[in-house]
Structure 1
């Protein structure tokens, strides 16, 4: 049996703003915060800790994909639309303001406030 993923630190110029974005989009919950971290908890006990990197705040964006059900997917896409945020059906950003029906489900790509690449899918790839 392999290890279980527990938490990761996500670089963010404004940790509180990023944490709230993930709470809004993913339906995550705020949990106790300490030190430089704004912490949220995903279903399954995985914690995301948002923190500003040391100056000059340079970091490489990462890609994170989240599995959700159809209702959560619809709510998230509606929220992106309501906020006037860009999203794409593909990682190359060639199909703006569209979603996809890959892998037997639906998917969408978008950026978080810090510029990380996020993906929502309704069916796992495997």
Structure 2
């Protein structure tokens, strides 16, 4: 049997706010799933946002196609309240990077999580 990551719990201060923040960037609509706000990322992966545990900022990386990446940049360009940037060395400079031969960007959510989006695997 192939190993596939099925779901991941992301601790946040408010499960609905946290899940809607990411949904605004990548699409989808969170749904109630027990104590979680669940956001389906693709056919095999769901992110379960939980607000019943301590928040510890994490790093979550997503490989996107070019069209989805462009849609993400369009959202970021319209919202000055969202911190994003080209990466560790340059912080939240509101730019993209070209790591791995594609385009990439890091986005910080209100709970301190760092979401990384890129179009090519290094």
Deviations 1:29-80 (A, max 9, x none): 434x1332101101132010001133xx4x3211111011112111112212
Which portions of structure 1, spanning 4 or more consecutive aligned residues, are displaced by more than 4 angstroms?
none
Higher strand proportion: 2
Matches within 5 A, 1:6-45: 6-31=6-31, 33-45=32-44
Rounded to whole Å, the distance in 1 between the matches of 2:90 and 2:63 is 20
- Tell me, yes or no, if the aligned pair for 1:17 and 1:113 is still in contact at 8 Å: no
Alignment-derived partner of residue 61 in structure 2: 65
Residue in structure 2 matched with residue 86 of structure 1 by the alignment: 83
TM-score using structure 2 length: 0.88
| Matched-pair contact (CA < 8 Å) for 2:83–2:92 | no
Q: What's the C-alpha RMSD, in Å, of the aligned pairs?
A: 1.7
SS in 1 for 2:34: coil
Which whole-Å CA distance do the structure 2 matches of 1:53 and 1:78 have between them?
Answer: 32
Which one of 97, 101, 104 corresponds to residue 100 of structure 1?
97
Tell me, yes or no, if the aligned pair for 2:28 and 2:39 is still in contact at 8 Å: yes
SS of match in other structure, 2:106: strand
Q: Which consecutive residues of structure 1, in runs of 5 or more, have no partner in the other structure?
A: none
